[in-house]
Chains A and B, each alone.
Chain A
Amino acid sequence: MKIRSSLRITSTLALLMMVGSVVSTALAYRWLRQATELELFLIDLQGDIFERSQLRDEYLLTGRQPSFQRWEEKSAEIGRHLKSLSEVELSPANAILLARMNQKFKTTMELFPRIVALRASLSGGDPAGTPTSRIEQRLVHQVLVDAYLLSDSTKLLLFDVRNHTIDSRNKLLLLLVLSTLIMGLVVTSSAAYVNVLLSRRVSALKDGTTILSQGAFDHRIPASGDDELADLAREVNRMAEELKQSYGRLEAANKELEAFSYSVSHDLRAPLRHLTGFVELLDRLDSRGMDEKARHYLHVISGSAKKMGCLIDDLLSFSRMSRGEMMKQSVDLQQLAHEVIKDIAKGLPPQRTVRWRIGELPVVTGDHAMLRLVLVNLVANAVKYSNNVEAPVIEVNSLSGEKGCFTLYVKDNGAGFDMKYVDKLFGLFQRLHSSEEYEGTGVGLANVRRIIGRHGGKTWAEGELNRGATFYFTLPNEKET
């Protein structure tokens, strides 16, 4: 399932649950409100019944007509309340209670006015000789019985409604807790699902692209499933396949080119040797017959042939750097730097003093000869471009910081360079100064870049015209990687 679809389903589900929760809470709240209203209504009714009993007792004690009138008013109010109650939907048990309340209300409404009428019409006895006090007593007794029954039934109804209210409140609370719990569970589980899916896919992608970036174009990222990240993994795999094929083609073309340049360089050497040999022979045998101008031409031809020979040698050396097998071993750069500097210092004229600064250099894994060539090239370069400086200082040192590799540099305070030409520095036969100013073929730094590249490192340079230059290179730290 697509991550987008999964997220959409989760959001819809959460939304639906939220709507469901809101609707059910609203219904439960309505239910609760109705129960509470009924409870308050019954409390009112209970108060009215109590007040009517007081008015009844007031009349029975005093016989005052206003008390009876107020009793009638209160009775009318109770009657209205009971009528309203009959419109409420009640349980069968509560409907029985309401029927009892209505019946007791009805019998009281018949009996009490009868007592009042009895008091008004007779005093002392009736023609049948029955004392009215006995009749009244019997009727009052029944009025009291009915009053108790009406009051008790109201109380029982109120009790049940109150229980119902509490029950509704508890149900509402339970509903809220449950819906929150379920909603939380759904959201958490779907978030966890997406999280697991995303983290698994993303880390597979990250690992895969790292491996691919190291040149292992045969590696493939796991791409099962039909989500977007699986699509992305498949796309990356397709790109890796294309890259592999392109790389293969490029490698083949490069090898062909290198073989061509090697054979060209190699084949050029023989005719150049003949040319140099015959020029020397001509110079030795017949220089007397030549005028000054012809001898000058012969020198130019000889010098150019030598220069061409140097160029071909450098080109062959560069070619070997690309083609030669690497013999990896542990190389102590500290020691190597000391050896290189010692050799170079030997070749310097006695009047030239260079101040050397050698820092703490690491032990790395690499081809000893190649790394030696790197140091030779960089240090020789530094010496060469410090030629016009009165107190040359050359520093070979390392930097700490980048994880997984060593960073080393060779720094001088010589001629330096303009940073706008920095891109040309490591190119083959690229030179920022004229050969008259500083001799050389422009192959040294190209060789440095090629060797460091083959070791899995990188090269760069910083400099300022007449303020010196610093050449950096990195080598992998095998222990950390």
Chain B
Amino acid sequence: MHPLSRNHSPGLRAFSLLLAIGLAFLTVPGCRRKQPGPSAAPVQVTIACPRNISASLAILGIEKSYFSRQGARVVALPFETGKAALERMLAGGADLAVVAETPIAKAILENGQLKVLASIHQSNHDLAIVARKDRGVRSPADLRGKIIGYTKGTSGHYFLDTYCLVNRVALGGIGLVDLSPLQLRSALLDGSVDAVSTWEPHVAVLREALGPQVLVFQEESIYTENFCVVARPEFIRDHPKQVKTILEGLFSALDFITRSPAEAGELVAAYTQVAPSLVSKAFSGHDFDVRLDQALILSIGSECHWFLDSGAVPQRDLPDVLTYFHLEGLLEVRPQAVQIIRDAERGHR
């Protein structure tokens, strides 16, 4: 029989009947899949993000609306430091925070409720000790007996400790002053401190302001700073789709910063309130990437150790840092970005 003939076979008639029943079933309102109604309120995602060049991927995710792709309403809370951003998140004032690994280590020791989603930046150039030559500082050894400003509990603090340690400058012989990054800038400029341990873009600002009077101690081999995106465990549990969107948004931001660094620099400059030229200059020493690696676990573990040794937190057993990592999100989005040694039972490498 010709396939187009009207004398259909019994099989074809039965198929047509089933198709008709199926279509009728689908058109009955009760049988349809429940769609979200137009009145459903969009999920609000609050991100505590510091005005820091190291947080560039997160800043671009916010500014380019990469994080809003699933219809979420993203609210960015700018902070002067990542430490402050993390504190806001831990206090329940944000769902996510962008912060360096040093405040994360301290928060872990204090049983803070957080999960690391991904590291977004690594740098060996970001931190420096900026000193005034007119205060007699010519070499690292000259820091002995001087007044040095720093921001307690930040990567700047850890860098200062490491720098002094490897250069055999005992911290006990230094006058340490805990100040915010902006306060550090004005303190060094007005001479109330002899040196400060700070990061970009403050280093660049001070270098420009002090001119020939400035001396910058930077030792790239001794410390690698990591900037991470962390989230509250409840947020991860309740909004897995948003977590995925955030991670995908970070990769979009990485792609954007690689393809259009000038445009990215302008957006970051606007958020961090720094001149675009300084941001562009600072970009060159930065390594932006989205990943979770063994080096980060090692660094957080090592800094936990440092916090315990320095007495900044009460003595306790060293926690298993890996349990503070949310691997599943990144494994879903970009499996090869997870480079962590872990047991096979967890379904990982």
Q: Measuring CB to CB, which residues of chain A are less than 8 angstroms from any residue of chain B?
A: 92-93, 96, 99-100, 103, 106-108, 110-111, 114, 126-130, 134-135, 138-139, 141-142, 144-146, 148-149, 152, 155-156, 159
Q: How far is the CB of A63 from chain B (nearest CB, A)?
A: 19
23 intermolecular pairs with C-beta atoms under 8 Å apart: A96-B289, A99-B287, A100-B289, A103-B124, A103-B287, A107-B220, A108-B221, A111-B222, A114-B166, A128-B170, A129-B170, A138-B302, A142-B222, A142-B224, A145-B224, A145-B295, A146-B221, A148-B293, A148-B295, A148-B298, A152-B291, A156-B336, A156-B339
Distance A152 CA – B337 CA, assembled complex (angstroms): 9
B169 close to chain A: CB less than 8 A: yes
Distance A96 CA – B291 CA, assembled complex (angstroms): 14
* Neighbouring B residues of A110 by C-beta, 8 Å: 221
B299 close to chain A: CB less than 8 A: yes
Which residue of A is nearest B223, CB measured?
Answer: A142
Q: How far is the CB of B253 from chain A (nearest CB, A)?
A: 14
* Neighbouring A residues of B139 by C-beta, 8 Å: none
Q: How far is the CB of B153 from chain A (nearest CB, A)?
A: 18
B294 close to chain A: CB less than 8 A: yes
Which residue of A is nearest B172, CB measured?
Answer: A129
Distance A135 CA – B287 CA, assembled complex (angstroms): 26
**Supplied contacts A138-B162, A142-B221, 13 more A-B pairs, CB within 8 Å:** A100-B122, A103-B124, A103-B220, A111-B222, A135-B166, A138-B222, A141-B302, A145-B224, A145-B295, A146-B224, A149-B224, A152-B295, A156-B336
Q: How far is the CB of A166 from chain B (nearest CB, A)?
A: 14
B220 lies within 8 A of A128 (CB): no
B166 lies within 8 A of A107 (CB): no
- 4 closest Cβ pairs, A-B complex: A107-B221, A148-B295, A152-B339, A110-B221
In the complex, number of A-B residue pairs with CB atoms less than 8 Å apart = 77
Distance A128 CA – B145 CA, assembled complex (angstroms): 12
B165 close to chain A: CB less than 8 A: yes
Distance A106 CA – B222 CA, assembled complex (angstroms): 12
* Neighbouring B residues of A146 by C-beta, 8 Å: 221, 224, 295
Which residue of B is nearest A109, CB measured?
Answer: B221
Number of interface residues of B (CB under 8 A): 27
Which residue of B is nearest A92, CB measured?
Answer: B258
* Neighbouring B residues of A106 by C-beta, 8 Å: 221
**Interface SS, A side:** helix
**Interface SS, B side:** mixed
Q: How far is the CB of B229 from chain A (nearest CB, A)?
A: 19
Quick one: which of B277-330 are within 8 Å of A by CB? 287, 289, 291, 293-295, 298-299, 302
A152 lies within 8 A of B294 (CB): yes
Q: How far is the CB of B61 from chain A (nearest CB, A)?
A: 18
If A146-B224, A156-B336 touch, whether A138 touches B165 (CB-CB below 8 Å) is: yes
Which residue of B is nearest A156, CB measured?
Answer: B336
B342 close to chain A: CB less than 8 A: no
Q: How far is the CB of B257 from chain A (nearest CB, A)?
A: 10
Which residue of B is nearest A131, CB measured?
Answer: B165
B13 close to chain A: CB less than 8 A: no
* Neighbouring A residues of B124 by C-beta, 8 Å: 103, 107
Which residue of A is nearest B295, CB measured?
Answer: A148
Q: How far is the CB of A58 from chain B (nearest CB, A)?
A: 20
B168 close to chain A: CB less than 8 A: yes
Distance A96 CA – B255 CA, assembled complex (angstroms): 12
* Neighbouring B residues of A107 by C-beta, 8 Å: 124, 220-221
Bits for B150-176, please: 1 = Cβ < 8 Å to A, else 0: 000000000000100110111001000
Distance A126 CA – B302 CA, assembled complex (angstroms): 23
* Neighbouring A residues of B168 by C-beta, 8 Å: 126-128, 130, 135
Distance A135 CA – B224 CA, assembled complex (angstroms): 16
* Neighbouring B residues of A141 by C-beta, 8 Å: 298-299, 302
B339 lies within 8 A of A155 (CB): yes
B258 touches which of A96, A114, A135 (Cβ 8 Å)? A96
Distance A99 CA – B299 CA, assembled complex (angstroms): 21
Distance A93 CA – B220 CA, assembled complex (angstroms): 23
Distance A228 CA – B122 CA, assembled complex (angstroms): 77
B295 touches which of A138, A149, A155 (Cβ 8 Å)? A149
* Neighbouring B residues of A138 by C-beta, 8 Å: 162, 165-166, 222, 302
Q: How far is the CB of A427 from chain B (nearest CB, A)?
A: 65
Q: How far is the CB of B298 from chain A (nearest CB, A)?
A: 6
Q: How far is the CB of A192 from chain B (nearest CB, A)?
A: 25
A149 lies within 8 A of B293 (CB): yes
B170 lies within 8 A of A130 (CB): yes
